[in-house]
Amino acid sequence: MKIKQFLSTKKLFSIRNYSLKVLGIETSCDDTAVAIVTSDRKILAAERYTEREIQRKQGGINPSVCAQQHNQHLPRLIEKCLFDSGTSPKELNAVAVTVTPGLVIALKEGISAAIRFARTHQLPLIPVHHMRAHALSVLLVDETVKFPFSTLLLSGGHALIAVAESEEIFKLYGESMSGSPGECIDKVARHLGSLGSEFDGIHSGSAVEILASRSSESGHLRYPISLPHVEKANMNFDHIKGSYLNLLDRIRRKEGDELDIPDFCASLQNTVTRHIATKLHCFFDSLEAENRLPKQLIIGGGVAANNYIFNAISKLSAAHGISTTKTPLSLCTDNAEMIAYTGILMYENRWKSILWTPEEIPDTIYAHARTPIGIDASSEILDQPRRQLVNSTIHGNEAIRFRNFDNFRSK
Ligand code: KG4
Ligand code: ZN
């Protein structure tokens, strides 16, 4: 990695004078995605291919099936993006590719394609962290977002609470110790059996959200479980998943087919939301105590598409004087636009990360299943928040309450 040598090339010195154009490749899970994005925030082309329904029918995500899919479809999607945007490879400034975290064999397919393309067309290669890209993707569409901001990322692979101090510095305050909200919801939804053809081809999480919206008034309380006990701002979604799978078995054994699916979905969604809200409150409370809490929270990741979860989080944030911004839906789930744009930010900010010149691109780049988003800052989180959140108040239009400090603020 001779980054200094690269940074001194004529091309990079003149980057401020023209718009950068970067090809992004994302293959960390089951979406094969390619996009071409410019530094002036234009998405010139974006393609995404997934066989979600087939995988769902086979019982969940199979890493080797994902890898095969990426291998088969990447060349076509790259060609299509170039064609649709009228871009010749010569006009590109770099290739950005997801290298971590994700399914290693799936990531490897994107990495190989990116290496081949970058070498063939003599382009620099930028390795991108998938979760940082989720956090930064909002900058592609919202100029008002300024560093530092807090970020809550909820996906099928992760849950984390971090502060983005800049494009390059992230502090990690809390994360899931086991499981993720997306996988938890998806797995429980699968155990509900066929939900009907109206849900074919959409994420299980979104099916659960739609079904929950059809629940009875207090349906979200009908199937309660106890929330996991996890330290500080950390989370545990495997606990919630296990409890709901057990509950489902028990109900089925006892009551036959009497399960009320909308109420069950509403209860599952409410429990996941209460867990996230409790931990986010702990984070807010800890940083407020030190006067270090950023005034803006960005929510991203596939699960952020869930309006029930978003509303609860925004209500809680407002009670702490924090504004909440949701990453637009098209950028919430896995996509290559966020990878390309993160690549641009890294390129523009002359990031101290590894950025390979065309001559230096190695034969292979390691793909890592897990890499933290940033510095571990969990020691800054209080063991117990100073005020307890009455977490039942995250539901609907109820005003957020804190124990011993009712109606602290409502919105
Ligand atoms: O970020 P993402 O596309 O992929 C990962 O990096 O994991 O997130 C996918 C996850 C899936 O688990 C999916 O069920 C969930 O996001 N999801 C939702 C909703 N839409 C997608 N979960 C809850 N409610 C939704 N509306
Ligand atoms: Zn993701």
Rounded Cα distance, 176 and 401, in Å: 25
Ligand nearest to the CA of 155: 1
d(CA 189, CA 112): 34
Mutate to test the pocket of ligand 1, among 333, 334, 335, 370 (most ligand atoms within 8 A of CB): 333
Global pTM value: 0.89
Q: How far is CA 30 from CA 25, 53, 54, 276, 365, in A?
A: 13, 11, 11, 25, 20
The ligand 1 atom at the shortest distance from the C-alpha of residue 31 is 3
Please work out whether the CB of residue 205 comes within 6 Å of at least one atom of ligand 1: yes
Alpha-carbon span 195 to 189, nearest angstrom: 8
Q: Which of 131, 136, 155, 265 most suits a substitution to test ligand 1, by most atoms within 8 Å of the C-beta?
A: 155
| Closest ligand to Cα 128 | 2
How far is 139 from 143, CA to CA, in rounded Å? Answer: 6
The answer to whether the CB of 154 falls within 8 A of the CB of 299 is yes
The two three-digit tokens of residue 343, written as one number: 């690549």
Quick one: 121 exposed, middle or buried, by C-beta within 10 A (0-12, 13-18, 19+)? middle
Ligand 1 touching residue 374 (CB < 6 A): no
Interval between CA 69 and ligand 1 midpoint (Å): 19
Pairing of strands 21-26, 31-38: antiparallel
Contact 27, 33 (CB under 8 A): yes
- Determine the distance separating the centroid of ligand 1 and the alpha carbon of 371, expressed in angstroms: 20
Nearest atom, ligand 1, residue 203 CA:
14
Residue burial 124-138, b: 16+ Cβ < 10 Å; e: rest: bbbbbbbbbbbbbbb
How many angstroms separate the alpha carbon of residue 374 from the centre of ligand 2? Answer: 16
pLDDT digit string (tens) for the chain, length 411 residues:
334 344 444 344 444 456 999 999 999 999 999 999 999 999 999 999 998 777 767 777 899 999 999 999 999 999 999 999 999 999 999 999 999 999 999 999 999 999 999 999 999 999 999 999 999 999 999 999 999 999 999 988 889 999 999 988 999 999 999 999 999 999 999 899 888 899 987 888 999 999 999 999 999 999 999 999 999 999 999 999 999 999 999 998 886 668 999 999 999 999 999 999 999 999 999 999 989 999 999 999 889 989 999 999 999 999 999 999 999 988 988 999 999 999 999 998 865 556 788 888 999 899 999 999 999 999 999 999 999 999 999 999 999 999 864 455 544
Q: Which two tokens stand for residue 392?
A: 């039942």
Amino acid identity at 317: S
| 126 in contact with ligand 1, CB cutoff 6 A | no
